[in-house]
Amino acid sequence: MSVDERTVTWVNEAEKRIAEKMEWLSEKSKNKIPYTTIHGVHDDKSSKTQEFSLDDGINWWTNGFWGGMLWQMYHKTGNERYVDIARISEEKLKQCFTDFYGLHHDAGFMFLLTYVADYKLTGNAEGRRFGLHAANLLAGRFNPVGKFIRAWNGEPGEGGAQDNRGWAIIDSMLNIPLLYWASEETKDPRFKHIAMMHADTLMEYFVRKDGSVRHIVQFNPETGEMERDYGGQGYGQGSSWTRGQAWGLYGFMMSYIHTGEDRYLDTAKRIAHYFIANIPEDGLIPVDFRQPEEPFWYDDTAAAVAACGLLAVADAAGEFEKEIYHRPAVKMLKALYENHCDFSKDSDCFLQKCTAAYHDKSHEFSIIYGDYYFIEAIFKLNGTSVYLW
Ligand code: GLY
């Protein structure tokens, strides 16, 4: 059996097992918007029975990924049941627009994979309306002096929180496709210009010479000057949070896909080369490429997002360089599949060892976006994914 045949075999098997699990899991969790699992069972970020702050609960930034998994399944199978279940979460997400205060730059993650996906795949006019609403809210976060989109919320002095009016974060690169889509949809270039100015700012201030990427950069919100950076969810200042590297890699590819500007492809490749050079022998990705040997934690989400990014670079790369990007993507996905995946009925998730942040109290648990990107990547390897970004 050739290497290619061996790859096809396990990818086919993975795709089949994902489809089998999603068939019962979508019914089991149909009234939830999950973030993680508790004792193997999906939690519910839309539940009104728990106490949430405004940016938790229904406004939680990951609330689009469950919808994204359902839309990927609908695209693959044509089964209308996935449309029905995806729309249960969309109905709940309407609340975000009236809450308003809990929404921040993650509007892209939340609404591209729900309303906009619904519109793209079914022509649902409501999806277009809420998608454009979200794009306008995201565009409104643009700071024209610093040419960046503000990340999170809060007013100075509020509850003793750190002043974050000048903060931009690398994750935003996956939110700005909402702006590209809004321009493509309305023929109004304002949204695209904001997205490109933001991408150019991040290209200049976030991507280091070696291809590694910062998580948070603070600009002066009045003058736009860069003031400092933060380690954010990684090990520390100057470290290399792996999901942040993956957000940069896939995010700059998204800007390239929407604009055709080579500078974004070149940036994605630079981050890709850094990422590839740091993939451990076993293909499993730590939380931070510069974390100490102990304590050591994995982050499967970083592997899944980076694999999607590498596959996108491979698509755009010339014939002789495709393998440079394709091979490490397959290596990471196979490592996840063989070591960290659960396809059983004992657990409502796929990936087992995801970590939100290095310094959090909990590590190596299931996180919904890990599952979303794992599915997107496996389907992409088999040519059955849909590009929702
Ligand atoms: N967007 C926040 C995170 O990646 O955890």
Mean pLDDT by 10 residues, the chain (389 residues): 78 97 98 97 82 76 98 98 98 94 95 98 98 98 98 85 94 98 98 98 98 98 98 97 98 98 98 98 98 96 98 96 97 98 98 97 97 98 96
Minimum-distance ligand 1 atom for the alpha carbon of 233: 5
Strand partners of residue 354: 365
Can 288 be counted among the known catalytic residues? no
Can 118 be counted among the known catalytic residues? no
Cis peptide before 34 (omega within 30 of 0): no
Whole-number pLDDT of residue 4? 79
Provide the strand spans (E) within the chain.
37-38, 41-42, 142-143, 148-149, 167-169, 216-219, 226-230
User: Of these residues, 171, 299, 300, 371, which one is catalytic?
Assistant: 171
With a CB cutoff of 8 Å and minimum separation 6, the contacts of 349 are 36, 37, 42, 342, 366, 368, 370, 371
Cα 237 vs. chain centroid, distance in angstroms? 22
Tell me the CA–centroid distance for residue 210 and ligand 1, in Å.
22
- Residue boundaries of the structural domains of the chain: 5-381
d(CA 133, CA 150) in angstroms, rounded, equals 18
Cα 319 vs. chain centroid, distance in angstroms? 28
Minimum-distance ligand 1 atom for the alpha carbon of 171: 1
d(CA 261, CA 253) in angstroms, rounded, equals 10
d(CA 204, CA 331) in angstroms, rounded, equals 31
Least Cα distance to 237 among 273, 199, 288 occurs for 288
Per the CB < 8 A criterion, the answer to whether 340 and 353 are in contact is: yes
Per the CB < 8 A criterion, the answer to whether 168 and 174 are in contact is: no
Residue nearest to atom 1 of ligand 1 (CA): 171
Whole-number pLDDT of residue 56? 79
Minimum-distance ligand 1 atom for the alpha carbon of 301: 4
Domain 5-381 CATH (choose: 1.50.10.10, 3.40.190.10, 3.30.70.1150, 3.30.70.260): 1.50.10.10
Whole-number pLDDT of residue 2? 67
Q: Which residues line ligand 1 (CB under 6 A)?
A: 61, 171, 233, 243, 356
Whole-number pLDDT of residue 242? 98
d(CA 290, CA 238) in angstroms, rounded, equals 9
